[in-house]
Every structure is written in C-alpha cells, then in structure tokens.
Amino acid sequence: MKLYSLILFFTLFLSISFSHPALAKKEKPVSFEKLSSAQKILKLTQLVFTGRSEEALKTLSKNGPLKLNTQLKNRLLFIQAYLQLMGGHYKEAAEGFENLKGKYSEVASILPYWSARAERLAGNPQKALEILEKSCKGPCLSPERVAREYASASCESENPERGLELFHHLLTSHPNSSGLIQMDLIECKIKNHRYEPQGKPWTQDSVASHGELTKQGLSPGATRRGIKKQEEACHELKKLFIEAPAGIPKDRFVSLLKTLHELDPEIPSDFSSQDQLTRITSLKNQDRWVEAGQELKTVLQNLDETSQTSLRPNAAETFYKARDYWEASKQYEKLLEEQPENAEQNTTLEKLASCYARSNQFDKALALQKQLASSQPKTSANTSYKIAFILADANRCEEAVVAFQEFMDQFPKSTKREEALWAKAWCLYRLGRLKEAVQNLNLFENLYPKDPYLQRVVYWRYRFLEMMGDAEQAKISKNEFIEKWGSSFYESWENFYRKNNNSHCPQASYNPLLVKKDFPSLSILFPHHSPGDLSTLEELLSLGLWEDFLELYQQKTSTTDLTPLASQDQLALWLNFIAKAENVPPELVWAVMYEESHFKPKALSAAGAMGLMQIIPQTGYSISDSLKLSSFDSQDLLEPLVNVRFGVHYLAQLLEQFSGDLVQTIAAYNAGPEAVQRWKGQKSDRPCDEFIEEIPYRETNNYVKKVMKSFWNYQSKEGIAE
C-alpha cells in the first residue's frame, strides 16, 4: 500500500481514537504539588521532551521527597542529573549520573555519554575519558556525539594533541556537522593549548619576566608557542564567524572571542564591524534574512554616519526582506534624503510605500502612493488599486468605496477588477450599507460567474440578507450556496460556530498532563523485536530524551529514512504522542500536514520548505535550538518522524504566542507571526469570520480556510474532503 493511502487511513484511525473539541474550555492545569508521584515524573518528562529544561529544573527544585518504586526512582534521579547538567550545575550532575552507575540497566547504553559530559564540564576531563574508553569500545549510542565528547575530553586532558587529531578525523567523516565540529575544535584550541608537550601549564602572568617563567619551569619559547596557538584559534574563529554556519548562535562566537582576549589582550574582545558585515552577507546568501536584519541593526548603531550612508541601499533591502518593515521604512527615508536624484527613485518610493502599509503607517503610505500617481503621465492600474486597498486596510471605508469605484471605472479590463468589486462590497458592509453591499455582490455574480472565489460572494450575500431581515431572499441565496458549495469552509463555519452564536475564533483545547497511555506502542513499531529489546527505547521516551531516542530508533530500523512506517496506525500513534506532549490538538497537525504536503514525505517547495509539514531549514534550526538538540541538519526534515516532531513544536510555539487562537496560529504558520501580529493589532475588534475574510494576503486567506476546513473534518470523523 502506498504511503499516501496509508496515511489517509491513519487519519480515520486518529479521528476515531482521539477527540479535542475546538469549543472546549481550557482545563485548569493541576498544580504540580497535587499530582501523584508517577504523574510528577511524567510532567517532568513532558517538560524535558518539549525543550523546557529550565522550567523543569525550577519545578523539580520545589518538589519534596517522593515515594517511588526502583524504576521510577532511577528515572527521577536521571532526570534530575540531566536537568542539573542543562542548568550548568555540572558537579551535581556528575554525582547524580555516577550514583546511577550499575543501577539503571534500561539506559546503560547512554549513561556513559551523559556521565562523561558532566565530568568534563565539571573540570574532570581525564575521568570523562576513562568513562568513555571503558563503556564505548563496541557499538555505542550516538556515535557522533560520543566521538565529539571524546575529542573534547582529550583536548582538556593530558593529551590535547590527540583531541586535535580526533576533531580533524570527525571533520572528514561527518561533513554535515562540520560547523559544530569546527566550533568544538576551536574551543579545544582556546581552552587547552596553554601547554608544553609534557603538559606543563603556562599562565598569562608568566609573560611578565624570564625569571618568573624559569621558576615555573617554562621557557619564553613555550609561552610564544602558547600565544601562537591562541592567534591560530582566533583566526579560525573569525573565519567560521564570517561563514555563519547554521545551528551555531552568534553568542557562542562572542563568548569564545572574549575568552581569547582574556588570554591574550592583544586579541580584540569583539569582532570588527567589517567581520560582522561580511557575516551578514553570508547570512543573506543563505536566505537567513531575519538573522541578517537583527544583526545589521546592531552593527549600524556602532558605525559613523558616513559608513551608514554607504550601506544605506543594502541596509534598506536587508530589512525589507527580513520583514522588518518599520526599520526598512526608516532606511528608505534616509536613502531618499541622501540620494534625491537616484535613478532608482521610483522603485525606492514604491518599496517605501509598501513598508509604510505593512507597518500600519497608513497616512504615509497613502501620501506616497498619491505622489507616485501624480508623477506618472497616466496613473497605473496598480497604483490606483493600491490607494483604494490601503484606504480599506486603514478602515477608511467611505473613501475606500469611492476609490474602488474610481479604479473600476478607469480600468475596466484590469485583472484586479474582481477583487476591487468584492472589496467595495465588503467596505459597504463595514459601513452598514447592507443593501448596496448585496447589490454589488449580485453584480459580481453576474459579471464573474466562474470566479474561483465566488463561494465567498454567495455566502456573504445570504449573510447580509439575513442581517437585513430579508428571510425569503436569504433562504434562496443560502440554498444556492449549499447546492454549489455544501462542503466548503463556510458551510463548516456555519455548523461549528454560527449555530452556537459564537463570534470568537476557535481555541485549541488544553491537555495539562501527558499520561502513560499516550506513549506509542513500540511493539507495533518493531513487531519482530522482543519486549526486552525495546526496553531502552521505551525508557528514553519515558525520560523525554528525544535525541537519544531518535538515534537508537534509527539504529534499530537500520535506515536514515524513516518513511517505511510498516503498520497502519504507526504514524497516528506517533503524532498523538508528540501532539499531546506539546499540548497541540492532533487534528490541527493532520490538517496542516494535509494542506502543506498532501502527506508527501519528500515534498519540496520553491521557497525551500521541506517534508510533511513544509518546514524551511532556518525555521528548523530555530526549532532545534528550542528543543535543546545538540545537532541538526536540514536534510533531517525529510525524515517524517523528525519533520512531524519539529512541525508540532512550531505549532505549539505559535499557539502559545497567540493564546491558543487556532485561526491566528494557522495564519502565522503560513505568513509568519510578524504579519499576524500586525493584523491582530488592526482588527482586534472583528468577529473571527470577518478577521479571516480580511486577511490581506490571498494565499494566507485561502490557507486558513482550507486548514480550518480539514481541522473540522477530522473533528467530525469525516476525514479529508477534497
């Protein structure tokens, strides 16, 4: 059976198995103190799994002694040590992992890695090496991570040259992780090359006098060699900083450079403006425009006026593509002041007008569009339409009605005429001129009977007629709508919301606690493995350790492609577990997945979005950071299990940002949260169906309707309706 058919079957399984009514009130979370001991551990698992280790550590610190059986006690001790490690309490973490040695057989394959990492970070690299050498002679969980940890421990031990050799080998054998490995290698050189070959340390103070060096058993040559190593590390750090590999935050570069400066004051404590500008160019070349805009804003603050002027065109374009329209408008304004006779002036003015409109500076946007219109021998259809559209967007509906009519009269053959007629009718509705609104919608149906958006015209016509009290005509219009579009978004809206007199946007239900029955059945995943073989996988999920689980899962499936999901209900089980852990309705995940990729695991978009939930690589790196993962490669997004894991986490972040509002969350998944925040600010007083109808991006407008329709289909156990 093809994967597409399988997943369609999974959706039916899901809808039968799980129910999350969108109208349900959010349950009040039970306080941690009132949970049973087993529930408390599951709650900690949930926090670890979703990347909220700080919250988990804080929650754990408030907890008193628990009455637990041996397995739950071991689980709690491991989680406690893991959280201490993530929180920077390395000595306590090392002690916690050490206390579990020989007692926690279910995680015996991963315990050495975490124990060694804690020991190294606690300042005991030699002990870390001993743990790894003793435990990982054969096949070991997470070979790349173990190898990197072993190399780092070697660097910090009595044999740093061995660490360098290992890192160079890793660069060759793991090219997809080269950025992270290079960063570890540089950190190795910075921290640990203050040694003679015999391991004798030198200090910064030892440079003061030859006599002091002699007392320490060092020679001036040894000090110079140490300084040379620091200079070499500085050169490599700057090179990597400029290349801007994904997955390494800028803060880590800054911290390491400051460490170098402390070791050798002749090394600058910060990257030069030119280094930072070159890095920004690298970010733009990788289509990482948001990061580029954020970093450029900081750089510009430290440049003199002359340098800022020379960068103005570049800066304006960067902020524009980063969707920081407020900052872009300021740069375009200064560019026009500094270069009033620029050959590209009209293009600059058009972009400035766009920035004004997209940052809610409507008066400025209108003034500029009118200036453009007056400078043209003959006003273009595009400019005329934009003026009317901005008036409508600014809620200046009286003027917008006139402007849309003028546009239609002046440009009767424009491809935007249908949209203008609809917008005029909508503005009339906003003004309470319902009879005129209906007349315009009637005209629309007569002129454009095959328009792909005719359903919204007929739907709102009968809504307007109902508001006018014309029950007979409303019924006729409604029957026409049902006959032609009885399975549309609008029909679903009627069934789910209007019949309940609900004008608010649907809310995601709240699932306060992950329970053991939500965990996927690993016997279904691995039907040919004995229960004992699956105990480690089960325990890793019970600990919330996604990364460790995924790596062992890949070992057991013997593939890096997770597409072969052999059993009918596998994906449904996985999706339910991940969605429940993240407090996301499973129906929402299915709906987004269907509209994004139609369940094609290898789907690629023109914009670079990948996989089942169409995640762009840079969003993937951001999600990886949020989940506290140690490594991530964009190609991982083509693996269904990873893609769903990341997509659900991103939906959870958006649901939190938009207070559980499903419509705003779905819109943000398509258009970005910045745009939705802007619309939310403009239209906060609108009923939900009007908010949806007024989404200005046509793609997002349609996307929200499609996803909500699919969401309701899953809720009502109907599956997907084409």
* C-alpha–C-alpha distance, residues 590 and 587, integer Å: 5
Q: Could you tell me which of 257, 251, 323, 253 has the C-alpha nearest to residue 289?
A: 323
Are 45 and 544 in contact by the 8 Å Cβ rule? The answer is yes
* C-alpha–C-alpha distance, residues 467 and 471, integer Å: 9
Q: Could you tell me which of 503, 495, 456 has the C-alpha nearest to residue 477?
A: 456
Are 85 and 119 in contact by the 8 Å Cβ rule? The answer is no
End-to-end, the C-alpha distance of the chain in Å comes to 21
Structure tokens at 706: 């499609």
Pick the catalytic residue: 291, 595, 596, 693? 596
| Angle between the N-to-C axes of helices 345-358 and 362-375, in degrees from 0 to 180, rounded to the nearest 10 | 150
Give every CB contact of residue 380 below 8 A, 6+ residues apart in sequence.
373
Which pairs with CB-CB distance under 8 Å and at least 24 residues apart come from 702-707? 703/595, 703/666, 703/667, 703/670, 704/663, 704/666, 704/667, 704/670, 705/489, 706/489, 706/595, 707/588, 707/591, 707/592, 707/595, 707/666
Handedness of CA 701, 703, 706, 708 (dihedral sign): negative
* C-alpha–C-alpha distance, residues 1 and 355, integer Å: 50
Rg of the chain (C-alpha set): 30
Has 305 been annotated as catalytic?
A: no
Residue 335: its H or E element: helix 325-338
* C-alpha–C-alpha distance, residues 335 and 355, integer Å: 14
Q: What is the dihedral of CA 540, 544, 550, 552, to 10 degrees?
A: -10
* C-alpha–C-alpha distance, residues 504 and 486, integer Å: 23
The DSSP-derived string for 370-407 is HHHHHHSSS--HHHHHHHHHHHHHTT-HHHHHHHHHHH
Burial class, 314, CB count within 10 angstroms (exposed 0-12 / middle 13-18 / buried 19+): middle
Secondary structure (H, E, C), 454-500: HHHHHHHHHHHHHHHCCHHHHHHHHHHHHHHHCCCHHHHHHHHCHHH
Active site residues: 596
